[in-house]
Amino acid sequence: MHRKPEEADERQGATDQDCSSPMLWTVNDLAKALQISTRCVWRLKSSGKLPQPVVVGGSIRWKRDEVHDWVKRGCPAIEVRRKGKP
């Protein structure tokens, strides 16, 4: 069964919350979702302004749902505790 071009276009407009969107985002995924550069993502991460990423097999990923919640809250700075500091 082949899809009509209009159906394919409608599918591409689906929300990020659907099942086809990965649960964990790469830096490229996050940059695209936020419409910023990957360099800007790394700067925001370093300054504690993004939700904490998770490390999966040595790769850094962000949880899609945490990012969505963070954006809904207005992108507040995330408090980061550094080792050795209370």
Residue 32, helix vs strand vs coil: helix
Q: In the predicted model, what is the mean pLDDT of residues 62-79?
A: 93
Residue 73 banded pLDDT, cuts 50, 70, 90: very high
pLDDT of residue 71: 96
Tell me how far apart the alpha carbons of residues 40 and 4 are, in angstroms, rounded to a whole number. Answer: 38
CA neighbor of 53 nearest in space, from 66, 40, 72? 66
Q: pTM value?
A: 0.69
| CATH numeric code, 22-72 | 3.90.105
Look at residue 7 in the predicted model and tell me its pLDDT. 44
- Measured CA to CA, the distance from residue 31 to residue 27 in angstroms comes to 6
Cβ neighbours of 67 (radius 10 Å): 20
The residue-averaged pLDDT of 41-59 equals 96
